[in-house]
């Protein structure tokens, strides 16, 4: 394992030290060192937007703290939920008295810790409502959508919720918009190589040379099938075959597409894949009105991608177009 760290048990602390220095114009540490907040949070007159999750997914989660996006983030260990206390402290860091929208992904640890944090918040009179992202199609059948994991669709949920809050929306309005955002997203990942947590020192799952795992999760959760590696075009076909019928996405719709590398995939390869995704969507009469291609939500050094397609309406389009500034995403006004 040739990697860059000091004490393998302190990678998150060491990363945060660098992150807070480099991005001191944008973010600051809260009193709880596992909470990163917008440098001006709580922002007066605005609903607070909070998220949180395990580390190792950078620029998610902390990279989406910024103007028009997230106000505070609870930072977990690598691939582990932040504590309930950290979620609670993130609520406190974000709350300006108009309530907090906690927009996070559907994982057991996060669900449990957010629930506990909400009880703590209730005692202090902080109003918190949640939206739980479940955009990952392969992780459960359509009939059990509430069991699906959240993957890169979370970014579009934060973008929409963050914009709605920045526009002056009430807590109910932010929650409704964020819920609509994630309900309009469908995602799938393909893994081409495993990833290694520094403190473990070897991959905790395996992807063989010449094979790829379709439907893999952000932490190596098993996919729906392991198949021989194919061309980029066949990969795009395979992903869209799963994603498109699920909403379903149909002719005449407008969509946003987010294609994220999982960490070790060369940038050029994301664009090779995107070219085919665009071709298929066009052939189906589906119009892409916004593209995001890059390393938006990674899994350490995993090779592979996630594809997210989001159905748009006027409100979602306006929210995606609303200016934001953060490490992970900047949209200019």
Active site residues: 57, 219
CB 71 within 8 A of CB 108: no
Closest CA to 260 of 246, 277, 242: 277
Minimal distance in Å, beta carbon 127 to its own copies?
33
Q: Which is nearer to its own copies, 132 or 305 (CB)?
A: 305
CB 180 within 8 A of CB 160: yes
Burial of 315 by CB count in 10 Å (0-12 exposed, 13-18 middle, 19+ buried)? middle
Q: Which is nearer to its own copies, 16 or 41 (CB)?
A: 16
CA-CA distance, 187 to 308, in Å (whole number)? 4
Q: Which is nearer to its own copies, 291 or 317 (CB)?
A: 291
Q: What is the DSSP string of 87-120?
A: HHHHHHHH-SSS-EEEEEE--HHHHHHHHHHHHH
CA-CA distance, 208 to 221, in Å (whole number)? 15
Q: Which is nearer to its own copies, 134 or 260 (CB)?
A: 260
Minimal distance in Å, beta carbon 206 to its own copies?
12
Minimal distance in Å, beta carbon 7 to its own copies?
8
User: Three-state SS for 300?
Assistant: coil
Minimal distance in Å, beta carbon 183 to its own copies?
25
Residues in contact with 22: Cβ distance below 8 Å, sequence separation at least 6, in sequence order: none
Q: What is the DSSP string of 214-273?
A: ET--TT----SEEEE---HHHHHHHHHHHHTTTTT--TT-EEEEEEEE-BSS-HHHHHHH
Other C-beta atoms closer than 10 Å to the C-beta of 278 total 16
Site of interaction with its own copies (CB under 8 A): 1-6, 11-12, 14-19, 21-22, 55-56, 58-59, 192-193, 207, 209-212, 229, 231-233, 235, 263-275, 278, 291, 293, 295, 298, 300-301, 303, 305, 325, 330, 332
Minimal distance in Å, beta carbon 327 to its own copies?
8
Q: Which is nearer to its own copies, 18 or 45 (CB)?
A: 18
């Amino acid at each position: 394992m040739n990697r860059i760290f000091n004490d393998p048990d302190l990678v998150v602390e060491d990363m945060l030290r660098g992150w807070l220095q480099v991005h001191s114009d944008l973010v600051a540490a809260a009193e709880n060192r596992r909470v990163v907040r917008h440098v001006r949070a709580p922002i007066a007159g605005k609903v607070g937007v909070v998220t949180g999750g395990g580390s190792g997914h950078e620029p998610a989660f902390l990279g989406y703290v910024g103007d028009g996006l997230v106000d505070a983030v609870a930072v977990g260990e690598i691939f582990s939920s932040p504590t309930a206390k950290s979620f609670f402290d993130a609520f406190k860091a974000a709350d300006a008295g108009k309530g907090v929208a906690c927009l996070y992904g559907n994982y057991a640890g996060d669900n449990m810790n957010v629930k506990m944090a909400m009880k703590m918040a209730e005692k202090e009179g902080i109003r918190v409502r949640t939206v739980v992202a479940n955009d990952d199609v392969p992780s459960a059948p359509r009939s059990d959508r509430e069991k699906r994991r959240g993957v890169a669709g979370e970014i579009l949920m934060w973008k929409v919720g963050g914009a709605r809050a920045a526009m002056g929306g009430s807590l109910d309005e932010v929650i409704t918009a964020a819920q609509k955002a994630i309900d309009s997203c469908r995602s799938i990942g393909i893994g081409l190589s495993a990833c290694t947590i520094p403190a473990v020192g070897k991959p905790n799952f395996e992807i063989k040379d010449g094979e790829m795992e379709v439907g893999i999760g952000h932490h190596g959760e098993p996919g729906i099938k392991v198949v021989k590696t194919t061309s980029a075009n066949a990969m795009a076909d395979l992903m869209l075959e799963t994603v498109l019928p699920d909403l379903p996405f149909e002719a005449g719709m407008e969509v946003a597409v987010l294609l994220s590398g999982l960490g070790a995939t060369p940038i050029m390869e994301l664009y090779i894949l995107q070219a085919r995704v665009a071709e298929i969507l066009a052939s189906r009469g589906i119009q892409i009105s916004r593209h995001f291609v890059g390393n938006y939500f990674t899994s350490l050094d995993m090779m592979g991608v996630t594809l997210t397609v989001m159905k748009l309406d006027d409100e979602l389009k306006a929210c995606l177009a609303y200016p934001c500034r953060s490490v992970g995403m900047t949209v200019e006004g």
